[in-house]
């Protein structure tokens, strides 16, 4: 499944790299592309993995970026 997650606080390429690394470390995530210009994170993941969307949101929040719901 591909999902766009809109965020606040994704200010520069350093923060993009932090988000990409944190989300990519989540089990079941195939790819992650953080884009500060669009204030979004594009994630491809296995939706069959239990609790993965919450885990992705927690990984993003853990870098100091706020997830918009």
Report pLDDT digits (tens) over 31-62: 999 999 999 999 999 999 999 999 999 999 99
pTM listed for this prediction: 0.96
- The pLDDT score that the predictor gives to residue 14 is 97
Which residues lie closer than 8 Å to 40 by C-beta, 6 or more apart?
Answer: 4, 5, 6, 7, 10, 34
Instruction: For residue 13, give Cα distances in angstroms to 29, 30, 35, 41, 50.
Output: 21, 21, 8, 13, 30
How far is it, in rounded angstroms, from Cα 5 to Cα 15? 15
The domain locations on the chain are: 2-67
- The pLDDT score that the predictor gives to residue 69 is 75
Percent of the chain whose predicted confidence (pLDDT) is above 70: 100
Q: Is 63 a residue whose pLDDT tops 90?
A: yes
- The pLDDT score that the predictor gives to residue 56 is 98
Whose structure tokens read 């990519």? 24
Q: Domain 2-67, CATH 3.40.605.10 — does that match?
A: no
């Amino acid at each position: 499944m591909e999902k766009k997650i809109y965020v606040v606080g994704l200010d520069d390429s350093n923060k993009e790299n932090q988000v990409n690394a944190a989300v990519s470390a989540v089990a079941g995530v195939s790819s992650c592309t953080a884009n500060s210009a669009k204030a979004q994170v594009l994630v491809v993941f296995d939706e069959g993995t239990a609790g993965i969307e919450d885990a992705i949101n927690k990984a993003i929040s853990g870098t100091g970026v706020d997830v918009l719901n």
